[in-house]
């Protein structure tokens, strides 16, 4: 009798515990402020609702006017500060934008685009491997290397 009572209590306890355990998997919602793409380009198309990079490349010449670092974000629901830091081939900081407010977070945006431009000066622009580093809300999000080569002489 004690054995039967013990088994009954054990079975009831297991049934109760099994009801408390859920095997259903809850998938997390996608995070906000996602980086979709980063491109280096020479021009920007501003004819539509969102900006678009034109003439995308990773190698520039000392004759180019500038290098543009273009980013696209999606699912923006919180405040966003972006910051670009440009480094020369000798790892020296050449340009720092400081924090630039892209979104105050007061309304949801499905997508946003932003860019920064490094002006090139044929006299003072070092040739070699450059790097641009992008931060969002003071956190590193991306790094993009690019090359500045000597311009070819055309006769």
Q: What is the mean pLDDT of residues 120-148?
A: 90
Least confident of 4-18, 34-48, 136-150: 4-18
Q: Whole-prediction pTM value?
A: 0.74
Q: Mind listing the pLDDT tens digit for each residue in 35-90?
A: 889 999 999 999 988 899 999 999 998 889 999 999 999 888 888 899 999 999 99
- The answer, yes or no, to whether residue 145 has pLDDT greater than 50, is yes
Show the 3-state SS of the chain: CHHHHHHHHHHHHHHHHHHHCCCCCCCCCCCCCEEEEEEEEEEEECCCCCCEEEEECCEEECCCCEEEEEEEEEEECCCEEEEEEEECCCCCEEEECCCEEEECCCCCEEEEEEEEEEECCCCCCCCEEEEEEEEECCEEEEEEEEEEECCCCCC
Q: What is the mean pLDDT of residues 100-118?
A: 86
Q: What is the mean pLDDT of residues 3-12?
A: 63
Q: Under CATH, which architecture does the 34-149 domain have?
A: Sandwich (2.60)
Question: Distance (Å, rounded) from C-alpha 71 to C-alpha 39?
Answer: 6
Q: What is the mean pLDDT of residues 111-136?
A: 89
- Give the Cβ contact number of residue 46 at 10 Å: 10
| pLDDT value for 112 | 87
Considering just the CA atoms, what is the radius of gyration of the chain in Å?
Answer: 27
Q: What is the mean pLDDT of residues 100-119?
A: 86
| pLDDT value for 142 | 93
């Amino acid at each position: 009798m004690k054995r039967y009572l013990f088994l009954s209590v054990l079975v009831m306890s297991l049934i109760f515990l099994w009801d408390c355990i859920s095997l259903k998997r809850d998938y997390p919602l996608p995070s906000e402020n996602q980086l979709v793409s980063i491109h280096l380009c020479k021009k920007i198309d501003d004819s539509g609702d969102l900006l678009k990079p034109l003439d995308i490349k990773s190698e520039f010449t000392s004759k180019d006017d500038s290098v543009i670092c273009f980013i696209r974000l999606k699912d923006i629901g919180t405040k966003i500060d972006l910051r670009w830091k440009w480094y020369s081939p000798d790892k020296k900081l050449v340009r720092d934008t400081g924090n630039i407010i892209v979104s105050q977070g007061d309304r949801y945006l499905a997508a946003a685009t932003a860019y920064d431009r490094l002006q090139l000066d044929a006299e003072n622009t070092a040739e070699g491997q450059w790097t641009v580093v992008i931060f969002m809300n003071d956190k590193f999000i991306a790094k993009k290397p690019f090359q500045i080569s000597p311009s070819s002489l055309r006769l």
